[in-house]
Structure 1
Amino acid sequence: MNLFKRAWWRLRAHAGKTVMLVGLFFVICTLVLSGFLVRSAAARAADSAKNSVGVVATMQLDLNAYLASGKGSQSDDGRPGMIGADADLSRRLVDRICRSPVVARCNYTKDGVAAPTDQVRLHQPVAAPAGQDTTGVNFFRADGIRDLDSVKEFRNGDSVIVSGSGITSGSGSDMVVIEERVAKHNRLQVGDKVKLNANILNPDGRLGTQETDFTIGGIYRNSTADPSVYVPPMQAPSNQIYVTPDGATRLDGKKVGADGGIVRSATFTLRNPDDLTPLKKAATAAGADLETFPISVNDKQYRTLVGPIGKTADFASLTVWLVAVAGTVILALIIASNMRERRKEMGILLSLGEKKPKLLGQHLVEVVACAVLAIGCAAAGSQFVAQAVGGRLLSGQVASAKESAAEQVPGQNLADPTGGAVREDTPRVEPIDTIDIELGIGDMGAIGATGLGIAALATIVPGARILRLNPRDILTKGD
């Protein structure tokens, strides 16, 4: 008799067991398919985030590597001493690296300070306590930047231009952008010629000042209110001024050379997190010494965006494996029990001349038929289950990520003249908090292969003992 007919009659004759097997397969396939859908949605979200924010690579001097290489001026005993001009990062070099096709956006900065003059005085709403020494803090903080719009405070809206324009890559070295309160305090307007004191090192080794000409190109407003107590002027938000990288070089008491000036660090926003190697090759081709000026990746934005949804995908993948393994074991036990109950049927069929592989094939057809029906039902409902479960898991991961971020304390930036907290050059972003579930052909193929694989494994493993049986043993011993 045809094994397919026997399988069909068996499924119809024992409808209760058939429904139970289909229900068990439905639960397994629904959970597995939901895991596949969540994982696929997370991968799409990660790709979207990768294209939207990219990854920021930073290039700056590694002082330890510089000194270990023997560069710089030599001391009396022949060991590296003072830092020399070869520790300067050339802006022209950075510009060549910026032209690399893997770079979506680049910026470079140079931290600096400017001493006030009679024409441009510090804004200090609360005077220093009597007798307190303020030497070394009565300066403007002067950041040399390539593009003012790329500065974090302007990207997130904490600072806005209220008059004039911001600094761009085409701005002159004499352009300066000052805060509105400093402008009002000194009665300055856009277009005014002003002088700021640059810091220079005198031949006797003492620090001096030198008046340097600037033109006010823009006035901005910072939303941070004046402090109610005394703070060093350099830490007051109103005393933050912006100049070009060449302007910051001039405030260091140096002349802008033929190489376009120097910068402290450069940042490159990559189009893809995997573009770090091509960027390093482009930097080497441009003439950069990556031992002295290493390029490190800051993918904090990307990790912030995809961190929670990535953890959700990892949990979904773990669920797929656990459900698949547990489902296979449970089904194997049920099928083994079912075969034990059908021992007389198998003995009779074997005594009538039925081949053992066909007898095992009948059981496999029955289980596969239930699996196919369950897979079809799971495809109809898994999208809703995955959306609900994935959304709940993601919201929990997002809440956990925000709590962890709130507990982090900013570190100290030793290169900061104010000794303040580290100021990041990347904008603050919120993690992805929504998941878009889509059922695709690939997901259907994956659940189909998984479901049929579970059915085959759960049938063949316990059914392999059929191949070792003979009719006499089954009918006489009952096993």
Structure 2
Amino acid sequence: MNLFKRAWWRLRGHLGKTVMLIGLFFVICTLVLSGFLIQSAAARAAESAKSSVGVVATMQLDLNAYLAAGKGSGGDDGQPGMIGADADLRRGLVDKICESSVLAGCNYTKDGVAAPTDQVELHQPVPSPSGQDTTAVDFFKADGVRHLNSVKDFRNGDSKIVSGSGITPDSKSDMVVIEERVAKDNHLEVGDKVKLNANIQHPDGRLGTKETDFVVVGIYKNSTADPGTYVPPMQAPSNQIYVTPDGATRLDGKELSADGGTIQSATFTLRNPDDLGRLKEDAESAGADLNIFPLSVNDRQYKTLVGPINKTADFASLTVWLVAVAGTVILALITASNMRERRKEMGILLSLGEKKRKLLCQHLVEVVACAVLAIGFAAAGSQFIAQGVGDQLLSGQVSSARDSTADQGPGQDLTDPTGGANKEDTPEVEPIDTIDIKLGAGDIGAVGATGLGIAALATIVPGIRVLRLNPRDILTKGD
């Protein structure tokens, strides 16, 4: 008799057991498919985060590597052990690296100060206390920036240009942007030529000044009001001026080289974290010595974004494995029990000449038929179940991540190789808190393969043990 007919009669004649088997497979396939869907959604979200945020790589001087390389004896005064000009990270070199195709953006800054002159005085609404020496703080804070819009105060709206334009990568080294209170105090307008004092350190340690020419290209307004009490001029927002990195180099009293001025560090935003190797190749091609100026990756933003959803995916992956293993064991026990109940049927069929492998195939067809029906039912409802489960799991992970961040407080980010120096270039981001579940043919194929694999293992393993016996032993021996 055809084994498929026998399988059909068996399934139809024992509807209770058939429904129970389909139900068990439905639960297993639903949980497995939900796990696959959550994993797929998390992978899509992580891939999207790579392109939307990227990873920040920082380039700056590694002093230990510089000294270990036998350099450091080329100081301006010729004394051994002094840091020479080869320790300067040049703006021209960084501009070449910024042309790399793997970058979504780049930035660099240089901190500096400028001493006031008779033409440009500090804004001090409250004079310094009588008898207090303020010589060390009577400066403008002069930040050399590549692009003014990348500065945190301008990015979040605390400062905005009210006249003229800001600093851009094309700005010249003599351009300066000043705050409107300083402009009013000194009767300055856009286009005026001004002089600022550069601070020069002589070889013998003496400090001096040098008048340096600039042109006012922009006037901005900072929303912070003047304090009611005295504060050091350098700490007052009104005394913050912006120049180019080359301009900040001039305010150090240094001459610009063919590669431009010096910068403290540069940040490069990668389109994809996997492109770091390509960026290093481009940097070496541009002439950078990556032993002295290494590229350190800070993927804090990316980890913040995808941390909770990756943990959700890991939990889903663990669930898939646990359900698959537990389902195989449970189904194997059920199949073994059914085979024991059908010992007489198998013994008679074997005594009539039926082959053992056909009997095993009949059992396999019965289980696979139940599995196929269950997979179809699971495919119809798993997307909604996975969406609900995924939302709940992700919500818990996001809440846990936020609580952990709150407990840590605003301490230093140990993943930032700059120690926080470039924090303005990496704005805070919120973790991904939504998961978009989509059912695809690949997911159905994966759960189908898993379900059929479970069915095969759960049938073949106990079936081989039972069918080792001959027909006489099956019919005469008890369980």
TM-score (norm 2): 0.92
For 1:70-81, what aligned pairs fall within 5 Å after superposition? 70-73=70-73, 81=81
For 1:131-280, what aligned pairs fall within 5 Å after superposition? 133-224=133-224, 231-280=231-280
Q: For structure 2, which runs of at least 5 residues remain unmatched after alignment?
A: none
Contact 2:151–2:424, Cα closer than 8 Å, also in 1: no
1:132-175 deviation digits (Å, cap 9, x = unpaired):
55443333222111111223333333432222211111111111
Q: CA deviation at 1:302?
A: 1.8
Contact 2:74–2:84, Cα closer than 8 Å, also in 1: no
The residue number in structure 1 matching 2:396 is: 396
Distance 1:172 1:382, change over 3 A: same
Partners in 2 of 1:462 and 1:225 — Cα distance? 81
Q: CA deviation at 1:470?
A: 1.7
Q: Secondary structure at the match of 2:38?
A: helix
For 1:40-51, what aligned pairs fall within 5 Å after superposition? 40-51=40-51
Tell me the amino acid that sits aligned with residue 289 of structure 1.
Answer: D
1:66-99 deviation digits (Å, cap 9, x = unpaired):
1121212269xx9952211011112221122222
Q: CA deviation at 1:277?
A: 0.9
The residue number in structure 1 matching 2:355 is: 355
Partners in 2 of 1:319 and 1:384 — Cα distance? 17
The residue number in structure 1 matching 2:450 is: 450
Distance 1:410 1:125, change over 3 A: farther
The residue number in structure 2 matching 1:429 is: 429
Q: Secondary structure at the match of 2:464?
A: helix
Partners in 2 of 1:432 and 1:223 — Cα distance? 32
The residue number in structure 2 matching 1:116 is: 116
Q: What is the alpha-carbon root mean square deviation over aligned residues? A: 2.5
Contact 2:50–2:272, Cα closer than 8 Å, also in 1: yes
Partners in 2 of 1:329 and 1:159 — Cα distance? 66
1:160-194 deviation digits (Å, cap 9, x = unpaired):
22222111111111111223444345443322332
Structure 1 stretch 204-213 or stretch 24-33: which is displaced more?
A: 204-213
Partners in 2 of 1:35 and 1:267 — Cα distance? 38
Distance 1:460 1:205, change over 3 A: same
Contact 1:410–1:421, Cα closer than 8 Å, also in 2: no
For 1:405-416, what aligned pairs fall within 5 Å after superposition? 405-406=405-406, 407-411=408-412
The residue number in structure 2 matching 1:93 is: 93
Structure 1 stretch 460-469 or stretch 403-412: which is displaced more?
A: 403-412
Distance 1:420 1:14, change over 3 A: closer
Distance 1:336 1:37, change over 3 A: same
The residue number in structure 2 matching 1:471 is: 471
Partners in 1 of 2:3 and 2:357 — Cα distance? 10
Q: CA deviation at 1:39?
A: 0.8
Q: Secondary structure at the match of 2:467?
A: helix
Q: Secondary structure at the match of 2:137?
A: coil
Contact 1:155–1:427, Cα closer than 8 Å, also in 2: no
Contact 2:339–2:466, Cα closer than 8 Å, also in 1: no
Distance 1:167 1:10, change over 3 A: same
Distance 1:13 1:439, change over 3 A: same
How many equivalent pairs are there?
472
Tell me the amino acid that sits aligned with residue 409 of structure 1.
Answer: P
Q: CA deviation at 1:353?
A: 1.8
Distance 1:340 1:127, change over 3 A: farther
Identity, in percent, stands at 81
Tell me the amino acid that sits aligned with residue 476 of structure 1.
Answer: T
Contact 1:55–1:297, Cα closer than 8 Å, also in 2: yes
Structure 1 stretch 60-69 or stretch 262-271: which is displaced more?
A: 262-271
Q: CA deviation at 1:225?
A: 5.1
Partners in 2 of 1:3 and 1:177 — Cα distance? 88
Tell me the amino acid that sits aligned with residue 193 of structure 2.
Answer: K
The residue number in structure 2 matching 1:290 is: 290
Distance 1:460 1:220, change over 3 A: farther
Tell me the amino acid that sits aligned with residue 472 of structure 1.
Answer: R
1:61 aligns with 2:61: yes
Structure 1 stretch 243-252 or stretch 468-477: which is displaced more?
A: 468-477
Partners in 1 of 2:428 and 2:413 — Cα distance? 19
Partners in 2 of 1:128 and 1:363 — Cα distance? 95
1:245-285 deviation digits (Å, cap 9, x = unpaired):
11001010111222222222122222221111111111111
Partners in 2 of 1:41 and 1:53 — Cα distance? 18
TM-score (norm 1): 0.92
Q: Secondary structure at the match of 1:268?
A: strand
1:261-318 deviation digits (Å, cap 9, x = unpaired):
2222122222221111111111111111111111112222222221221111111111
Contact 1:356–1:466, Cα closer than 8 Å, also in 2: no
The residue number in structure 2 matching 1:28 is: 28
1:222-259 deviation digits (Å, cap 9, x = unpaired):
34455566554434433332110110010101112222
Tell me the amino acid that sits aligned with residue 6 of structure 2.
Answer: R
Tell me the amino acid that sits aligned with residue 139 of structure 1.
Answer: F
Partners in 2 of 1:422 and 1:129 — Cα distance? 35
Contact 2:74–2:83, Cα closer than 8 Å, also in 1: no
Partners in 1 of 2:228 and 2:455 — Cα distance? 72
Tell me the amino acid that sits aligned with residue 411 of structure 2.
Answer: P
Partners in 2 of 1:228 and 1:463 — Cα distance? 89
Partners in 2 of 1:466 and 1:100 — Cα distance? 67
1:437-459 deviation digits (Å, cap 9, x = unpaired):
11111111111111111111111
1:342-385 deviation digits (Å, cap 9, x = unpaired):
22222222222221111111111111111100000000111001
The residue number in structure 2 matching 1:416 is: none
Contact 2:58–2:268, Cα closer than 8 Å, also in 1: yes
